[in-house]
Structure 1
Amino acid sequence: MSQATKRKHVVKEVLEEYVLPSERQQIVRVLGTPGNNLHEVETPEGARFLVSMPTKFRKNIWIKRGDFLLVDPIEEGEKVKAEISFVLYKDHVRYLQKEGYWPEAFSGNGTGTQSSVKEREGAQSPPRSSDSEEDSEDADLFVNPNRAKYDYTESDSSSDSEEEEK
């Protein structure tokens, strides 16, 4: 199977399948990515540990801080205590909430967005103007904090100076 075909099947599986956790599996929230295909996660009880990303997800599925995962525990690990079995997106979270499998500790922020992580950690989110339709449409999009934000306003001074020259 070629790499492109493998990627297509893995992405289709993650986006279209809806799974329920087994007795051994648990739902965790991603806190960070220290590297080497490891992710630091937190359980609903507050325990923190590392999970590994299986080979089939590497370079195919991207995980960021605030996402939710379904993990399988591994017994032989001291630091790495689980392996990712499924990445949960918004539709998966809604499905798990409807089925009653979603943990109460995560129910206040079930969307998995980065802004909800910042609010939990005590950081202040930038003020948003609610009168614009664009803000409400782009509320779910990821915002790169490494880019400067510019506000462009149209001014009438340029059109006035053009009229004066004529």
Structure 2
Amino acid sequence: MSQATKRKHVVKEVLGEFVHPTQDQQIVKVIGSRGNNLHEAVTALGKTFLVSMPTKFRKNIWIKRGDYVIVDPIEEGEKVKAEISVILYKDHIQHLQRMQLWPDGFVEQPASQEKMDRQQGRRAGEEEEEEKDEEDDEGNGSSSDSEDDESDLFVNTNRPNYHYSESEDEEGESEEDKEEARTEACS
């Protein structure tokens, strides 16, 4: 079997099947990569250990921090306690949650609920800002120009900030004095 055909079958197996964990298997969350096809994982109870990626997944399927996997325990392992058997994607996770097989330790607030909470927090912040602006306008008697407000502009922190100050008596300064002023502004 060629490498491309093998990859096609592995990807089809991973993406297509809805797998339920058996008695000895467990669902864990990948919290980091340790190199050499080893990943650090945490159980729903908070226990951390290393898991290995089998050769059929190597260079074919990628996992990252935060992904969920089903693992088979390795009895003789001291540091590496399990081997990945199934990588769970969004559809797999939703299926396991519907079947009530998802561990309680991994139950998270739904993404739509988090999004609504963030929007409500932003709205509350905007309302406070508008009230503050209205109070400032009433106190000053002047209207604010949104064109003058540069607080929302992107600032490139990779570039040094140069501040040149111009004085009225520049005509009397020598070239050396100007150069000193520039170097002082840079530092």
State if a TM-score over 0.5 links the two structures. yes
SS state at 1:86 partner:
strand
For residue 57 of structure 1, what is the aligned residue in structure 2? 57
Work out the percentage of aligned pairs sharing the same amino acid: 66
For residue 83 of structure 2, what is the aligned residue in structure 1? 83
- TM-score, normalising length: structure 2: 0.59
Q: Give how far 1:110 is off.
A: 7.4
CA contact (8 A) 1:49 1:79 kept: yes
Matches within 5 A, 1:4-153: 4-108=4-108
SS state at 1:108 partner:
coil
Pick the structure with more helix per residue. 2
Amino acid at match of 2:97: Q
Amino acid at match of 1:38: L
CA contact (8 A) 1:93 1:110 kept: no
Aligned-pair Cα RMSD in Å: 2.2
Distance 1:67 1:109, change over 3 A: farther
Stretches (4+) displaced over 4 A: none
Higher-RCO chain (CA-CA 8 Å, sequence separation at least 6): 1
Q: Give how far 1:109 is off.
A: 5.5
- TM-score, normalising length: structure 1: 0.66
Q: Give how far 1:81 is off.
A: 0.2
Distance 1:44 1:52, change over 3 A: same
- Gap runs ≥5 in structure 2: 115-121, 124-152, 155-187
CA distance in 1, matches of 2:34, 2:53: 12
